[in-house]
Amino acid sequence: MSEKKRKNHQNDESYFLASQWTLMRRKLMKHGLARFSMVLLGLLYCIAIFGNFVAPSDLVAYNAKTKNCPPTKIHWVHEGDFIGPFVYGLESERNMETFQLEYREDTARIYRIRWFVDGPEYKFWGLFPTTKHLFGVEDDGYLFLFGSDSMGRDLFSRVILGSQVSLTIPFVGTVISFVLGVLIGSASGYFGGVVDTVVQRIIEVLSSFPSIPLWMALSAAIPSDIPVVRMYLYITIIISLLSWTKLARIVRGKFISLRNEDFVTAAKLAGVSDLQIMLKHLVPGFMSYLIVNLTLEIPSMIIGETSMSFLGLGIRSPATSWGVLLQEAQDISSIASYPWRLIPLIAVVVTVLAFNFLGDGLRDAADPYK
């Protein structure tokens, strides 16, 4: 680290006492986009965690009467009076020329949007049953914030419930890749020789597989009648099987470069055991790089899972994810007639962007000593 940088904070005691993580955190906070992304992602994950509560409807509320309904407009003023957020009743009529249902607002019926309403029953975090939802309308009113799909189900709720899968599978998958990558990469970098050669060749073979055909093959091996959670797990494992290789390479590279640093030699001379050197000097040495790479790994996993489900290879009904939702937006006629079906795409894009900005900020902050 340059003398000038050190001198910039010459009288800042807190700078002197700051560990690497503190310095990283401080620098990260200065990055505007990263800060914003962190808040956004925090919000998205919160919504996903409380998904069943936040979503006004659930996954199985089929209703032939509300097929392909456009997003419901929220009104605040009725005939000149301000009465808070509400929606009008829904009336449908079949157009005799296009044979499609057209919806109109019935201004006679008013359904106020309320907080903590009763809705479809669900198990809160799988623990206890409840009917409370964050917001919604009374019994026979319809609130389709993002419109409805071809089976009359509320897209908004489906997007939220889908995020539970789309946001967590990549996370879990990344953790698995992380563990695999660190273990295998460390062994490869530390032992060198034959171990290193074998591992590197394996990594090369795995990396040269085209991912989608491989996923197709693997998911065809999953029986179709297993419970949702197990299927979820299998999908996660399949995705992380290929992505650990990138991390392992990074870890190995860092290991090799750090191995020759003077402070590692000094530790060796002091009599510190090899294992201790690995744990105390080498692993913390590349931790910051790993964190950055992890953050950038998650978006590719999101896209991976979304792609798989979109192709029908991943999550299947009745479970849902953003990829499954996008299946409905596959043909041009549906997009032309029902453009709100692309909203899950916006969700994917926003999430991936947010992770990328965060990763950028982390990468800038990752070497606070430069």
Partner 1 sequence: MADTILEVRNITKCFNSKKVSVKALTDVSFDIGKGETIGIVGESGCGKTTLGRCIVRAIEATSGNVYYTTEDGRRVDFLKVSHTEMKKIRKDIQMIFQDPYSSLDPRMTVLDIISEPLKANFPKMSKAELEARVVDIAGKTGLNTSYLKRYPHAFSGGQRQRIGIARALVLHPKIIVCDEAVSALDVSIQAQVINLLKELQREMDLTYIFISHDLSVVEYISDRVGVMYLGRLVEYADTVDLYSDPKHPYTEALLSAVPVADPDVVVERLPLSGEIPNPANPPTGCYFHPRCRYCIDQCRETSPVLMDVGGGHFVACHRAHELKLKGIKYEAVALEAAGTTSRDGCPEVDHE
Partner 2 sequence: MDRRTEDRVPVVQVKNLTIDIPMDEGVLTPVRGVSFSIHEGETLGLVGESGCGKSLTSKAILGINDKKCRTGGEILFSEADHVLDLLKLKYGSEEIRKIRGERASMIFQEPMVAFHPMYTIGAQINECTRLHITSDKVKSKEITLDMMKRVGIANAEKRYDQYPHEFSGGMLQRALIAMALVCRPALLIADEPTTALDVTIQAQILELMKSLQKEFDMSILFITHDLGVVANMCDRVAVMYLGKIVEEASVREIYKNPKHPYTKGLIGSVHKVGTHNQSKLFSIDGTVPLALNLPKRCGFYERCSSRIEGVCNRLEPGRTMLDDDHSVNCFLYDKENIHG
> Which of 32, 312 has the CB closer to partner 2?
32
8 binds, among partner 2, partner 1, none (CB under 5 to 8 A by kind): partner 2
Distance CA 231, CA 221 (A): 11
Interacting positions 278-337 with partner 1 (CB under 8 A): 280-281, 284-285
Give the SS3 label for residue 105. strand
Select the residue interacting with partner 1 from 124, 191, 209, 369 (CB under 8 A).
369
Per-residue binder mask for partner 1 (CB under 8 A), 20-59, x = binder = x--x------------------------------------
Which residues contact residue 362 at a Cβ distance below 8 angstroms, ignoring those fewer than 6 apart?
A: 24, 28, 34, 291, 292, 295
Distance CA 250, CA 10 (A): 34
Contact of 24 with 140, CB cutoff 8 Å: no
281 binds, among partner 2, partner 1, none (CB under 5 to 8 A by kind): partner 1
Interacting positions 186-245 with partner 1 (CB under 8 A): none
246 binds, among partner 2, partner 1, none (CB under 5 to 8 A by kind): none
Sheet holding 101-112, edge to edge: 75-78, 81-94, 101-112
Decide: is 261 part of the binding site for partner 1 (CB under 8 A).
yes
Decide: is 8 part of the binding site for partner 1 (CB under 8 A).
no
Decide: is 64 part of the binding site for partner 1 (CB under 8 A).
no
> Which of 11, 95 has the CB closer to partner 2?
11
Closest distance between partner 2 and the C-beta of residue 313, in Å? Answer: 47
Contact of 236 with 176, CB cutoff 8 Å: yes
* Beta bridge pairs of residue 117: 133
Select the residue interacting with partner 1 from 272, 296, 345, 352 (CB under 8 A).
272
> Which of 2, 208 has the CB closer to partner 2?
2
Decide: is 19 part of the binding site for partner 1 (CB under 8 A).
yes
Decide: is 273 part of the binding site for partner 1 (CB under 8 A).
yes
Interacting positions 165-224 with partner 2 (CB under 8 A): none
Beta strand spans in the chain (E)? 75-78, 81-94, 101-112, 114-124, 128-136
Decide: is 3 part of the binding site for partner 2 (CB under 8 A).
yes
Place of tokens 């596959």: 330
Decide: is 370 part of the binding site for partner 2 (CB under 8 A).
no
Select the residue interacting with partner 1 from 1, 64, 194, 275 (CB under 8 A).
1
Question: Cα 247–252–256 angle (5° rounding)?
Answer: 150
Contact of 311 with 222, CB cutoff 8 Å: no
Distances (CA, A) of 89 to 81, 95, 103, 187: 18, 19, 10, 65
Amino acid at 139: D
Bond preceding residue 318 cis, omega within 30 of 0: yes
Distance CA 166, CA 84 (A): 34
SS3 content of the chain, % helix, strand, coil (to 5): 60, 15, 25
Per-residue binder mask for partner 2 (CB under 8 A), 4-43, x = binder = x--xx-x---------------------------------
> Which residues of this chain interact with partner 1, rule CB under 8 A?
1, 3, 5-6, 15-20, 23, 261-263, 265-273, 276, 280-281, 284-285, 368-369
> Which residues of this chain interact with partner 2, rule CB under 8 A?
3-4, 7-8, 10
